[in-house]
Structure 1
């Protein structure tokens, strides 16, 4: 039976969890779990699958696109890290927006973020099912999607430590795979890899096919639109910190390491692809950028190797997506912005109703994907497409207000500070706003922004009306 649990003690520290919520969640995530969640959080299936279209659109200049978006994410994570280290919470930026900007802001961004991740569940479950169906075609795609969702639901329902352990190993596989790819790739680039089929052309491919800007400097912005959403997930560690033994330490470490994580895993791996073969090589689009690079090096069965890695990334993203959606629902329930049942936990500190509520919508979205992929599911996909940018904007505005609140109430908790405050915060707001406006000039981007704005306006309007009714009551 699900019960409202009192604050519980940490599993190994013997002290109450410092999540700051006074909730029934348990400190079941160990430091190694948080470290790997932080490292693997920025590596989604989008990096492996989506990078080829970005390379085709911008050529070698896509490196600048990744660097610009990477810098934006670093700044946003620094701001979020400042708030999360001072006030760790299972609701993270939604709880901070509630405190700094008002109930309407916490309610709106919390539900929009939940909506984003339950749609991601359907996308990743379908992607994983497609790979598994290719291996074992006897089981239909929808069957594999169902199996994957059920297994990960069971993992999340068991205990938060189960999620942490699963994510530790799956994120670890992603990290090791990309690190090995970068090292082996660089050796091949400079002709130092024994037995490689690659002649070792050095950096020549960065400029030998139309220069570094073959599509013109404007293609950098097109590239930004294509890569920005592959960075979503960096903020997961700040939600998970509320269930760790030492949230402040975990958040500080994750925030400080985000620069090299993006540098190695995103810029490093794309740099290797672009130096191993020309950007306009047809195999980059036909086979995928990483498979094409592995084939050039001479790695046997490159396609199958990447399928395993992509499946790992998909399962990791699914696992984290379900965890993230359920914890956001839990936090909303705690604050009275969702059904009270969402805030109840089992004796193991698991918000069972919040998990099941999230996965039910995920199952429904998977069904929509098979029944009406071009209508209902396409609407869900596009109407959640720009939510990532909305979340980052809210984090920026919240940090502008929260800095003063922390200095007034708990100045000793300000252990992580945003650089050049407030100037760099405003610069980040300008960068994100520019990306949103520029998306309106792109056909696919325009639909995402407009539909996401429509859904956001509905949620904000509902929260304001609800707040007014509650005041009158």
Structure 2
């Protein structure tokens, strides 16, 4: 992706007293892009993917990663053609008309309202691993309140939170690849008699073990794992130097997909073999347990918790910014484009979005209690 040189226009994306504050630095954007590419599905859903697709999961991740990169590159090129673009909804409105921008903006906002609630509910269930007597709604609602405060303080605080959330995921995957690589190199034999070897990858019975149906079923969680990567398309107006930073973040995606998805899948299958991967257990837990790490389940539960928190945090941010953009384009009430004087945060958009996050959470809890 190339860097663009254009003059900023005096619209909502530029600098000025009435504009969003450019508080996201290069390290924030790099880690947000990386964290968006590594979803909770990799940690908790990869076992089911391997179970149904076998070693063809590698082909699935290559295909999904390729199309993800192409979409992100196209989006980045369009966003950088003008400095006043705030999000992908802006160029959709310019090229397809205001109706398309209206539809895209509101459906994207609604999708994050639902997804964010799913994430905070999952956070509650992860907390029950350590506190089984705790009602799931309590940590979930507390998590939403914390994320609201993070997004209220400044865009830099959001970036810092996402930076550390992503770093935890990166460290975990590097630890998995390093541990698995050592087990493969030494010919590690697990207590159940499976010897770590790359030959498990070439086993013909492990490629599409459930036929073409299993192969296509593997796409579901694989695509879900990349959910959130489009967040870069809502951060243009708050990135310090988008013309330089965004191309670097997007161009680094292919290498990151190879390292964090393909290598982790290769290591898991080589160590555990396809029959040894359980659909009901995280393969990360399986591999660390085979390596003799007794706290494997607790560690991966913590990583999955931070991953869900990262997704929910992204949901609060993106729904707020999308609602702000809709208001600027007069597709939503004018009050949603009012910014705080000190932090340049669209506070009323944030309050409205978090209100609906909390409301949907209350509906989900009441429905669960009736059941």
TM value normalised by structure 1: 0.71
Q: Distance in 1 between matches of 2:83 and 2:257?
A: 24
Distance 1:90 1:146, change over 3 A: farther
Distance 1:66 1:124, change over 3 A: same
Q: Distance in 2 between matches of 1:58 and 1:211?
A: 8
* Aligned residue in 2 for 1:205: 200
* Aligned residue in 1 for 2:34: 39
* Aligned residue in 1 for 2:249: 254
**1:298 Cα deviation after fit:** 2.2
Residue 364 in structure 1 maps to residue 359 in structure 2: yes
Q: How does 1:204-243 map to 2 (within 5 A)?
A: 204-208=199-203, 210-243=205-238
Q: Distance in 2 between matches of 1:87 and 1:375?
A: 51
Q: 2:82 aligns with which of 67, 83, 87?
A: 87
**1:162 Cα deviation after fit:** 0.9
Q: Distance in 1 between matches of 2:329 and 2:120?
A: 30
Q: Distance in 1 between matches of 2:352 and 2:85?
A: 17
Q: 1:295 aligns with which of 289, 292, 307?
A: 289
Q: Is the 8 A contact 1:29 1:245 kept in 2?
A: yes
Q: 2:332 aligns with which of 330, 338, 341?
A: 338
Distance 1:115 1:375, change over 3 A: farther
Q: Is the 8 A contact 2:123 2:309 kept in 1?
A: yes
Count of residue pairs brought into register by the alignment: 359
Residue 320 in structure 1 maps to residue 309 in structure 2: no
Q: How does 1:28-427 map to 2 (within 5 A)?
A: 28-88=23-83, 91-191=86-186, 201-208=196-203, 210-281=205-276, 284-347=278-341, 348-372=343-367
More deviation in 68-77 or 32-41? 32-41
Q: State the SS of the aligned residue for 1:72.
A: helix
Q: Distance in 2 between matches of 1:96 and 1:242?
A: 13
* Cα deviation code 1:334-368 (max 9, x no counterpart): 10011111111101101111111111111122222
Q: Distance in 1 between matches of 2:86 and 2:113?
A: 16
Q: Is the 8 A contact 1:18 1:246 kept in 2?
A: no
**1:94 Cα deviation after fit:** 0.8
Q: Is the 8 A contact 2:11 2:84 kept in 1?
A: no
More deviation in 133-142 or 59-68? 133-142
Give the unaligned 5+ runs of structure 2.
Answer: 1-9
* Aligned residue in 2 for 1:10: none
Distance 1:89 1:292, change over 3 A: farther
Q: State the SS of the aligned residue for 1:298.
A: coil
Distance 1:18 1:35, change over 3 A: farther
Distance 1:56 1:358, change over 3 A: same
Distance 1:25 1:233, change over 3 A: same
**1:209 Cα deviation after fit:** 7.4
Q: Is the 8 A contact 1:17 1:27 kept in 2?
A: no
Q: How much is the aligned-residue C-alpha RMSD, in angstroms?
A: 2.5
Q: Distance in 1 between matches of 2:250 and 2:69?
A: 8
Give the unaligned 5+ runs of structure 1.
Answer: 1-15, 377-473
**1:369 Cα deviation after fit:** 2.1
Distance 1:217 1:243, change over 3 A: same
Q: Distance in 1 between matches of 2:11 and 2:255?
A: 29
Q: Is the 8 A contact 2:340 2:347 kept in 1?
A: yes
Q: State the SS of the aligned residue for 1:136.
A: coil
More deviation in 120-129 or 285-294? 285-294
Q: Distance in 1 between matches of 2:208 and 2:129?
A: 38
Q: Is the 8 A contact 1:55 1:279 kept in 2?
A: yes
Q: Distance in 1 between matches of 2:224 and 2:104?
A: 17
